[in-house]
Amino acid sequence: MGGVVLETLSWKKLIILGLFLLFLLITFFLIGGLIAPRPTNVVHVIGTKCVNKGGVGNKEWFIPRGGSEKCIQYSSLDDPGIEDDRISANQIVFSFWLPHPREGIQLDFSRWQQTMISVLDLTILYDDENQVEDDAIIQLDARISYRDKEDDVNDWKELASSLEERQLRCEMEGKKENGYAYNCDLLSFFELGSLHYDYYLINIKVPVEPYKGINAGIGNLRDITLVGIHQNGGFTKVWLSIKTVMFPVVLAVLIWFWRRIGQLSRPPNLLERTLFALGIAMSILNCPLEWFTLAIDMPFMLLITDIRQGGFYAMLLCFWIIFTGEHIMDQCERNRLVLYWKHLLAVVIGCFCLLLFELSERGVQLANPFFSIWVTGVGAKLALSFIIVAAIAASCYFFFLCYMIFLVFRNISAKKVALPSMSKSRRSFYMGLIYRFKFLMLATLVCSALTVVFFIISQLSEGQWKWGDEDPSLEYTSAFFTGVYGMWNIYVIGLLSMYAPSHKQFVQGSNAGGDSQEEEVQLTYLPSSSETSAIQSFAAKVAAD
């Protein structure tokens, strides 16, 4: 009887393969920890306060430095010149040029830096006559433009403009006295899915119309600091290199696996089809489409990347359910996808909710990078409902998976009572199968745990969990990201290799009465179209006996 490679491969070759895959996994972690820099960089730019003398409808760009149209600026809003020149709050424009100079040298963005998100840090002083009201809303007239180094210094082209509202959440710590600053939460500002140009210019106006309730009760606004978080170009190069190398490797193993399946006299079963689909999802995720962003402006790439990664998550979760279910080793016919509808329903609901959240956030940002679903009450409740439903579905999935894994190990232990009645060669053969399968299940549990941790960590900023000093030589974030990504590839490659149909027969050597002979381990078992391995055949045989 032919089985899968996992069951027919000799222990020596299996150990060598396992050590090789372990070496690759360690290599992925070392690449991130020793070679790749941190995934993101953070820049802080204090807004330059320019004077708009052209009125409310003036659409010129206020440039904080360089060029003939450099803005008339003041060092602070307390500058006596503002009062002497009778400049009102409506004439103040906060201007930001990204990236900012360093040591007198004007830096520029690289297309390797891929994406950038930004938040605003407001400096609001306490004033008895102008306090920050509860649930105060600040209105921002924001515009963003771009230019390249080859363009004229005044040739800024508008990328987006919007009139946005953000809710202020400020607290006064300690004694309330005039001139003391509030402690305000950061405000989400914009998100760019592509850094295709060298420079970006942001102008922010804070129009004040007390009679209309516009920017009334927002306190004494003195400064605005823009905090930009962009992807690190060095990390992008390492990340793309990994994807470029792994894409043809996984694709080649996938093609080899499916050719082996095609040589069988039976159609592929559910487990084989699911494993093939997982290989396709891994290949899609590996496909290095990001190389095109170096030549073409693709602001939708961030959305595509998130959808690709979400699709891989969904396929991986489905595979774990089916993989575990197909090895429960009972007499139920499980070679049908419909039998897993309860388990997969949680995956479908959770992924669908997260997809809706993704489209409602980053999908709209393709047209308006200043948009955020969290800034309005209705949008925040809708987004929160998506996340809650997805969390409930994830919890149900987790309990389903744990229960199925429990059934697998319980049934394995129950089946082992039949081993003493078997011949020595047959008993040794099945003990080896059980040990190999337990090891594979353990690897699956480790992969699932690290995948969950990766998903959580990827949502946090670098500074929230970075270990060690301010600038450590070993970047644990990068090591974890590259390590887990490599683990996914190794796990998929290992499964495709181990569960490919084997051309060998199960033959074990045994000695009886001093004569050397071979005993072919042939089993009489209940036929089932879902059986693809000897471990399943063993379960069926014991149940039949």
Residue 69: per-residue pLDDT = 59
pLDDT in tens, 292-316: 999 898 888 888 988 998 899 889 8
The two structure tokens encoding residue 140: 């921002």
Rounded CA-CA distance 219/137 in Å is 11
State the pLDDT at residue 335.
65
Give residue 244's pLDDT: 95
Note every long-range contact of 433-441, with CB atoms under 8 Å and residues 24 or more positions apart, other chains counting. 433/7, 433/534, 433/535, 433/538, 434/535, 436/6, 436/7, 436/14, 437/6, 437/327, 437/412, 437/535, 438/409, 438/412, 440/6, 440/498, 441/324, 441/327, 441/405, 441/408, 441/409
Whole-angstrom distance, CA of residue 229 vs CA of residue 234: 15
pLDDT at 76: 59
Q: What is the pTM of this model?
A: 0.80
The pLDDT of residue 348: 84
Predicted pLDDT at 136: 84
User: Does residue 271 contact residue 528 with C-beta atoms inside 8 Å?
Assistant: no
Q: Are 231 and 115 in contact (CB under 8 A)?
A: yes
Which residues of the chain have a pLDDT value below 70? Answer: 1-3, 54-58, 66-70, 73-87, 328-335, 415-419, 421-430, 432-433, 435, 455-476, 503-545
Enclosing H/E stretch for 448: helix 424-457
Task: Determine contact, residues 168/217, Cβ cutoff 8 Å.
Answer: no
**Please, what are the domains in the chain?**
5-39+234-509+517-544 (1.20.1070), 40-231 (no CATH)
- Within a 13 Å sphere around the CA of 483, how many CA atoms are in the beta-carbon half? 19
Q: pLDDT tens, 221-268? A: 888 999 888 888 899 999 999 999 999 999 999 999 999 888 888 888
